[in-house]
Chains A and B, each alone.
Chain A
Amino acid sequence: MSDKGIADKVRETQVWKSIFRHGPPSNARNRAAIVAGNVFLHLHPIKLKKSGVQLGYTWCMGGLTFFIFLALTVTGLLLMFYYRPTAEYAYTDIIALREHVPLGIMRELHRWGAHAMVITVWLHMFRVFMTGSYKPPREFNWGIGVILLVLTLLLSFTGYLLPWDQLAIWAITVGSNMAKATPFMGHGGPGAMLAQIGDFVMVSNKNDVRFQLLGGRFVGEPALLRFYILHCVFIPLVVGVLIAVHFWRVRKDGGISAPL
C-alpha cells in the first residue's frame, strides 16, 4: 500500500498539475516558483525582507489603498446595474438605490470607500516620504504614485456629479470653473486675451478646455454623461494600468521600502 496521504494524491492528479505547475512550497525554489509563475503574484517581489513588511514601517497603506480600489470597483460595478446617467433618471436612481434595492447601503459603501481611498493614498504618500522611499532608484515610482494620487482625486471629483442633486451640480460648476483659468486653453485664463484677433476670439467658452470637459458651456446633461464615462471607464482603466506599473516597479526597484 502507498504511504502517501490524500494531499499527495490530489497533487498528482492531472487537474491539479495543470493548474499549479510547481511542487509544494516546501523549499525555497518552489516558493520562488509559486510567486514567479503566477500572473497575479509575479508583480510581487519573489522575496521580501522581514523588516520591510513590518506594519509599523509601511502602515500597509499602499496595500490598503489597493484593497479599497478593488472594493470600489466591485461596489461601483454593482451600482451601474441600477444607475442611468441622464438628467431624467440619475437622481431618482440614486434614491431608488437606497429605497427600492436590497442592501441600500451599497451606495454608501462606495462613497465611504471613496473617502477612505483618498485618505489612505495621502497617508501612503506621507509614509513613503517619511521613510525616504522616493530616493533613487525609486524616484520613477514616486512619479507614477503622484499621477495615481491625482487620478484618485479626479475619480472622486467625477463621481461627485453623478447623484445629480443641487450639491453635485453646483460643486462641479465651481470645480470645473478652474478649467476656465487654464493658460491658453481656458477662456478666462492667462494667454486667452493674447489669442484674440480684433473682434475674433480664438479661445471662447464654446471651444476651450472647460467645454471639452463638460460637453457644454455649463453643467448639463452632456456633462453628466461625460463625467459618468470618465468615472466608470476611462480613469479606472488608466489607474489599473498605472497600478500594475507601480507594483512592478516596487519589485524591480528592490522591494517594499527596506533600505537597499
Chain B
Amino acid sequence: MSNDSKTNLNRREFFSYVVVGWTMFTAAIAGMASLAFRFSYPNVNFEPEMDFLAGMPGDYPAGVDERWKNSFGVWMVKQDGKLVALSNICTHLGCIPNWLAAELKFKCPCHGSGYYMSGINFEGPAPRPLERYKIMLLADGKIKIDKTKVYRQEKGEWDNKESYLEV
C-alpha cells in the first residue's frame, strides 16, 4: 500500500509534470532557435568600414575622382565649388555604374541607367538620382566620409550642409 503513495501519481500531479515538461521542452527549442538566429550574424566581418578618412580637399581635381570606388564604393565629385561623396550604387536595382569620362556620365551596365556628373539621373530606368554620403571636414583639415547617413536629392536633402563641402 505504501507503494501506491510513493510511486503512483495522481491525476493532478501527472498534469503538473506534463506542464513543466512541455514548458521546458518548448523553452529549449525556442532557445536553440534564437541561438541559431544569432549565429547567422558574425561579430566581425571583413568588409570595408562605413566611415573613412578621405585625405584633404586639395587632393581632388575638378570632376570625378574614382580613388575610393573599389575600396569604399564612393565617387568624389568636385563641381561648381562643391565637393560631394557620391554613392556608386545604382538607384534602379543596386548594381554599380561605370564613370564614362568621354561621355561625362555614370552608366549602369545592368539595365542602362545613366546619370550626369552631379548624380542626377537622365536616362534608363533609374527612378531617382544617386545618393550623397555625409561628408565633413575635421579639425586637422582632413575629410571624413560617413556612409551610414545618406542625402537624397528628390527629398531636397542636397541642400543640407552635411551633404557637401564648399571648396
Chain A residues in the interface with B (C-beta under 8 A): 170, 173-174, 177, 201, 204, 207, 211-212, 215-218, 220, 222
Nearest CB in chain A: distance from B98 CB, A: 13
Q: Does B93 contact A217, Cβ atoms closer than 8 Å? A: no
Contact of B94 among A173, A201, A212, A215 (CB under 8 A): A173
* Given A201-B148, A212-B40: A174 touches B93 (CB 8 Å cut-off): yes
A222 contacts B95, C-beta separation under 8 Å: no
The residue on B at minimum CB distance from A218 is B47
Indicate with 1 or 0, residue by residue over B42-61, a CB within 8 angstroms of chain A CB atoms: 10010100000000000000
Does B95 lie within 8 Å of A212, measured CB to CB?
A: no
Shortest Cβ distance from residue A157 to the other chain B in the assembled complex, whole angstroms: 15
Which of B40, B45, B110 contacts A174 (CB under 8 A)?
A: B110
In the complex, chain B residues whose CB is within 8 Å of the CB of A220: 47
User: Could you tell me the distance between the alpha carbons of A117 and B41 in the complex, rounded to whole angstroms?
Assistant: 33
Q: Are B94 and A177 in contact (CB under 8 A)?
A: yes
Given contacts A170-B110, A217-B47, A220-B47, whether A177 and B41 have CB atoms under 8 Å apart is no
Q: Are B47 and A174 in contact (CB under 8 A)?
A: no
Cβ contact within 8 Å between A222 and B94:
no
Q: Which residue of A lies closest to B109 (CB)?
A: A170
Instruction: Scan residues 95-128 of chain B and give those whose CB is less than 8 A from a CB of chain A.
Output: 95, 109-110
Interchain CB contact under 8 A, A215 and B42: yes
Chain B residues contacting A222 (CB-CB under 8 Å) are 42, 45
When distances are taken between beta carbons in the complex, the residues of chain A under 8 Å from B45 are: 215-217, 222
CA A165 – CA B37 in complex, angstroms? 30
A174 close to B148 (CB less than 8 A): no
Bitwise, B67-102 to A at CB < 8 A (1) or not (0) is: 000000000000000000000000001110000000
Q: How far is the CB of A202 from chain B (nearest CB, A)?
A: 13
Known: A170-B109, A212-B40. 15 other contacts (CB 8 A): A170-B110, A173-B94, A173-B95, A174-B93, A174-B95, A201-B148, A211-B41, A215-B40, A215-B42, A215-B45, A216-B47, A217-B45, A218-B47, A220-B47, A222-B45
A-chain residues with CB within 8 Å of residue B95 when the two chains form the complex: 170, 173-174
For A170, A211, A212, A222, the residue with the greatest tally of chain B CB atoms inside 10 Å of its CB is A170
- A212, closest chain B residue (CB): B40
Taking the closest CB of chain A, its distance from the CB of B129, in whole angstroms, is 16
- Minimum Cβ distance to chain A for residue B56 (Å): 27
Instruction: List, sorted by A's number, 28 A–B pairs whose CB atoms are closer than 8 Å.
Output: A170-B95, A170-B109, A170-B110, A173-B93, A173-B94, A173-B95, A174-B93, A174-B94, A174-B95, A174-B110, A177-B93, A177-B94, A201-B148, A204-B148, A211-B41, A212-B40, A212-B41, A215-B40, A215-B42, A215-B45, A216-B45, A216-B47, A217-B45, A217-B47, A218-B47, A220-B47, A222-B42, A222-B45
Docked complex Cα distance between A201 and B147 (Å): 13
Residues of B within 8 A of A217 (CB): 45, 47
The answer for the CA separation of A212 and B45 in the assembled complex, in Å, is: 12
* A74 CB to nearest chain B CB (Å): 30
Which of B41, B93, B109 is within 8 Å of A207, CB to CB? B41
**In the complex, chain B residues whose CB is within 8 Å of the CB of A177:** 93-94
Chain A residues with Cβ below 8 Å from B47 are: 216-218, 220
Chain B hits for A215, CB < 8 A: 40, 42, 45
Docked CA distance A222–B41 (Å): 11
- Taken together as a complex, chains A and B put the C-alpha atoms of A211 and B43 apart, in Å, by 12
